[in-house]
A and B are shown apart, each in its own frame.
Chain A
Amino acid sequence: MATQPIDQFAKRLHPDTKAAVYDGSKQGHDKRTQVLFDHFPDPDRLRRIAGEIKQHVVENLDTYLPQVEARLQAHGVTVHWAATAEAANAAVLAIMRSRGATRMVKSKTMVSEETGLGPFLEKNGIECVETDLGEFIVQIDHDQPSHIVKPIIHKNRRQIAASFERHGLGAYDDDPQTITRRARQHLRGKYLAADVGLTGANFVSAESGRLVVVTNEGNSRFCLAAPACHIAMVGIEKILPRDRDLGLFLNLLARSGTGQQLTVYTEFISGPRSPGQPDGPEEMHVIFVDNGRTDVLASSCRDILRCIRCGACLNVCPVYRQASGHAYRSVYPGPVGAVLSPLLAGEDFATLADLPRASTLCGACHEVCPVDIPIPDLLLRLRDRAKQEGVPSPGTPPMGVWALLASRPAAWRAALFGGKLINHLPVTLVPVPALRSWAGNHALPEWRGGAFRTWLKDRRTK
């Protein structure tokens, strides 16, 4: 019987990769649980409050976006609106060209992964260097990130040491400190030579127009400090109503994402350098990216726009742990990706319509989500949508006959008693492919259809 693409991918996964993903995600989840429950008596309440705030933002974007634009402009920031990935990339290129810039340093941003900014700039003759260590390794390996927060969760340090050696960053040495020191040395020169620094934003306050960027390596700070121009590429859903909401969200983001109380670096950016400031970029641009988000907003899955990209749902997901992020064939893997990726695919929904099926609907993702997104419900809605749009689903048993039996009591009872046949048939002859497939790795229980009903009837007549 046919099986799903993600299942086939998991089957072929190298044991080293599987072990790296499993250990990395389990560790992430365990740390999250510990730090969250150590510090807060009722973290679930915080998750629910944060979810309500983000849902409020998502449903009032039409009010908040112009407000943010006005605040940013008042701070001397040039604001751009990009409806598509292409428009966002083109806006970055236009800014670079207007300054005669050819070198960019870039801190980690998922939205730039979405738009494929790095490869696009390289194609247009611009050097674009990833400065987050994980993203840097992805870049030199021509690989893809496999996790939202830990892009190289699928690699172990031996593989990373080999990549560094290949890239001419010193002889093989898999000591993590050596690897980090070498990357640091290499990147210093890149920061100093760069014309433009690009970051994302984890949050944007509608009240003050402040951008907030969190990192652990300090690379975003370097991207802001050295180059004369700062570009921030930001998804339109990144807004929070007030500065004081940051107290809640920064607490939840660090704890959910990396199990930290607070990330090592938290930047608050209000605009380009003001006349009195000794350093900082002289020019600042914010590019707000839609790239399918308003379509998501119009769908029954708009709750997914609350997501703050912490990766907690990936870490806890048993399917992600078995399959790895690359199995999802898209920028966003795991439970959040299984909802977001097919939606962002727009007209190509069908090509990723299998992603929402890659879940037992166990609900662990919902339970850990810092903004309380009911991910299983959204996965189910997308399964329904795929079926309605006639997207084939390999290995999913057809339900028509079952529905027919289960809505006719007489037929159901007949099937219960008749089903006893399977106790006597070799399983290869059972005319139900799903059952044959199930029997491939399970011992079958004895069919005792109707036995309870008979017992009950006998008992009542006595």
Chain B
Amino acid sequence: MNESARVFPDAARRVQLMATCLCDAFYDDVARATVEVLEFLGCTVEFPDGQTCCGQPAFNGGDWPSSRRVVRHAMRAFAGDVPVVVPSASCAAMARHGALLAFENEGDQGDQGDQGDQSEIRALGRRTWELADFIVHALGVTTWPGRYEARVALHRACHARGTRSSEAMQTLLGSIAGLTIVPVGEGEQCCGFGGTFSVSFPNISSSMGALKLEHIRAARPDILVSGDMSCLMHLCGLAGKAGEPIKGLHFVQLLRDALQNNGVL
């Protein structure tokens, strides 16, 4: 998607928060941290109460009619014209790219009422920002005024591949006093989650995860950090089941905690 076509926040910095289904069900603290960090940056955070999921599980699973049903709902839930901010590169990619693909054969007439035409989807895509990308490239924040004493391994989610999100995350975390980002081997390799893939390919999925964990452990981090809870749910889940738990945090939790550690928040 053309970066220049994106919708930037206005002077009042109003945004809609897409909390993601995973944070809605499991990781409420990540959604809380997102609100706190965005408010710290002067944003007015709206939470459209009707939101559910971005539609990706069924899209990746090959059930596009089910996915379209959920995407249509998301379009209704996130109606308006302010930026939508989401603490997940994966959900952002679904809104910006996957949803268009899911509707590619549904016509672009714009007169299908509830059918959710492509131009509406494109408009939502242009408004949707992954959180780190939003903080750095929409709000122009490139240093973070907090402190956090830790060695962190940064796991780049695959949906951040080729986007500006991982670079943005590096920029923000790299500027936190006391924090060291340790390099992890084979960073371009996937953790093996892949949504429904992890269920229908349990053996390959967990082998990929084990390999990723091996590289992470070799870097001896205190915390594993990612911008996507799905990767962390997979990796921390595997590590926990193997009896060698690792601490995983979303990068926004780190941003929030860094502010608290410095007494700024």
B50 touches A322 (CB 8 A): no
Q: Assess whether B115 is interfacial by the CB under 8 Å rule.
A: no
Look across to chain A and name the residue whose beta carbon is closest to the beta carbon of B232: A445
Q: Is the CB of A450 within 8 A of B62?
A: no
Number of B interface residues in the complex (CB < 8 A): 71
Size of the A side of the interface (Cβ < 8 Å), in residues, is 67
Q: Does A141 contact B (CB under 8 A)?
A: no
Q: Is A319 among interface residues, defined by CB-CB distance under 8 A?
A: yes
Given A4-B201, A10-B203, A319-B204; A403-B70 close (CB under 8 Å): yes
B62-84 interface bits toward A, Cβ cutoff 8 Å, 1 = contact, 0 = none: 11101101101100010000000
Partner of A443, one of B57, B60, B190, B245: B245
In contact, B189 and A318 (Cβ under 8 angstroms): yes
Q: Provided the pairs A360-B193, A380-B60, A393-B62 are in contact, do residues A407 and B70 lie with their beta carbons within 8 angstroms?
A: yes
Which residue of the partner chain A has the closest CB to B200? A395
Partner of B190, one of A362, A395, A434: A362
**B residues less than 8 Å from A6 (CB atoms):** 201, 204
Interface: B199 (CB within 8 A):
yes
A192 on the B face (CB < 8 A): no
Measured CB to CB, the closest approach of chain B to A397, in angstroms, equals 6
Q: Which chain A residue has the least Cβ–Cβ distance from B157?
A: A362
Interface of A is mostly: helix
Can you list, as one digit per residue, whether each of A331-368 has a CB less than 8 Å from chain B (1) or not (0)? 00000000000000000000000000111111110010
Nearest CB in chain A: distance from B99 CB, A: 12
A177 at the interface (CB under 8 A from B): no
Chain A residues whose CB sits within 8 angstroms of the CB of B190 once the complex forms: 318, 360, 362, 364
Of the candidates A409, A438, A456, the one whose C-beta lies within 8 Å of that of B52 is: A409
Those of B86-134 within 8 Å (CB) of chain A: 98, 101, 104
Chain B residue numbers with a CB within 8 Å of A26 are: 186
Q: Is the CB of B201 within 8 A of A7?
A: yes
Distance (Å) between the CB of B202 and the closest chain A CB?
Answer: 6
B25 at interface by CB-CB < 8 Å: yes
The docked-state distance in angstroms from the alpha carbon of A383 to that of B161 is 22
A203 to chain B, nearest CB (A): 28
A7 touches B200 (CB 8 A): yes
Q: Is the CB of A403 within 8 A of B69?
A: yes
Among A322, A444, A451, point to the contact of B207 (Cβ < 8 A).
A322
Task: Answer whether A437 and B158 are a contact pair too, CB < 8 Å, given A377-B101, A380-B101, A409-B77.
Answer: no
CA A419 – CA B24 in complex, angstroms?
11
B57 cross-chain contacts in A, Cβ below 8 A: 399, 402
| B58 interface residue per 8 A CB criterion | yes
Quick check: B62 and A10 within 8 Å, CB to CB?
no
11 new A-B contacts at CB < 8 Å, known A393-B62, A445-B27, A453-B24: A6-B204, A7-B202, A316-B188, A383-B61, A383-B62, A403-B69, A403-B70, A438-B198, A441-B237, A443-B236, A443-B245
The 3 lowest CB-CB distance pairs between A and B, nearest first, are A360-B194, A443-B240, A383-B62
